[in-house]
Amino acid sequence: MLIGIDASRATSANPTGTETYSRELIRALLNIDHANTYRLYTREPAPTGMFPSAPSVQVRAIPFPRLWTHFRLSVEMARHPPGVLIIPAHVLPLVHPARSVVTVHDLGHLHFPEAYTPFQRLYHRWSTSWNCRSAWHILADSEATRDDVLKFYGISLDKTTVVYPALSTEFIPPQRDLGRAAEVRSRLKLARDYVLTIGTIHPRKNYARLIDAFAQLLKRRQDCDLELVVVGKRGWLYKGILDLVGRLGMKDRIRFLDYVAERDLPAVIGNARLLAFPSLHEGFGIPVLEAQACGTPVICSMTSAFPEVAGDGALFVDPCDVDALSAGMERLVFDESLRNKLIAHGLENVKRFSWEKSAERVLQVLEEASGDQGP
């Protein structure tokens, strides 16, 4: 069987969640499946060594300046269609094989529409609806996301499969490289003690409440020498978040590091006192696993996929309750017994997730697609 994969997001030089998911799922599939032929569609040539070099792996670079998915990839599908097409991190092209598989990462735009611009709301509504209606099968990052797909789009259960993400193969916990952890701390001028949060700066990540909660913590603990470090590039509707820092007089206690390279991120997480991740909605929440792997205690939302993903390795709070978030962070800073318990549970929880297991589930879906097509 010829399996096509939209790998355009996988080759990103500065990957975030969906780009990393795409890259790691593709790599895992190619590592476990040598019976089928894979054709990877990219916007530009993939970096050397990104994907295995084998007769069963074809990388098809098809450059195009704009509307790559709906025009250029559609043309490719019309001319040279694979037996099955997988879209791991984007939207189905207008022209696609009957057996097409898409990943739906989350439906946060339906739960919190106010956290998006009008154009983004319109695009997310259209693209997710198009994916769910047009795909032969849907992969969901979590049971929570699958439940949303069933609820909002009336998709049958047998048309969906939960495929958990896992830690990137590029993610090396700092326990294995103490020298790098020290070097990164020095180079990035990280404080001795800091609370860390990770994610593109936009309203759904709930940064305004986190900043308010952190300010409350510092007022209660005036002898506390903590900083709040925000890792993430600026997204949309971020100006109010940045303005809040000034209004609270917190410019000297909150640092925005922008995007942090993959190779440096484990050290930034491992050096943190804790990870605060009170996002309003997540389809999975990779930073939770990253922190757990680094032995960094986690406080996160009790909503969406967080309880499913974090297991017993996190302190859960209502993301809309600023007082609870502030009190929770205070506990994780000063309560060593709680910290040690969550660290131990977190290190155990991470073991539940692997890209190999995820790829095996996807391969089962592909084999069903092949069987449905007949001889």
Contact 171, 269 (CB under 8 A): no
Contacts of 215 (CB under 8 A, 6+ apart): 248, 250
Which domains, ranges and CATH numbers included, belong to the chain?
Answer: 2-166+354-372 (3.40.50.2000), 174-352 (3.40.50.2000)
> In the chain, pLDDT over 70 holds for what percent of residues?
99
Return the pLDDT at 24. Answer: 96
What's the rounded Cα separation, in Å, for the pair 191 and 226?
8
Report whether pLDDT(222) > 90: no
Burial of 121 (0-12, 13-18, 19+ CB in 10 A): middle
Give residue 230's identity as a one-letter amino acid code. Answer: V
Return the pLDDT at 174. Answer: 83
User: Average pLDDT for residues 238-260, to the nearest whole number?
Assistant: 93
Q: What is the mean pLDDT of the chain?
A: 94
Report whether pLDDT(373) > 60: no
Contact 328, 300 (CB under 8 A): no
Return the pLDDT at 327. Answer: 98
Contact 89, 9 (CB under 8 A): yes
pLDDT in tens, 308-325: 999 999 999 999 999 999
- Residue 374's pLDDT band (cuts 50, 70, 90): very low
Report whether pLDDT(296) > 60: yes
The pair of structure tokens assigned to 191 is 């404080």
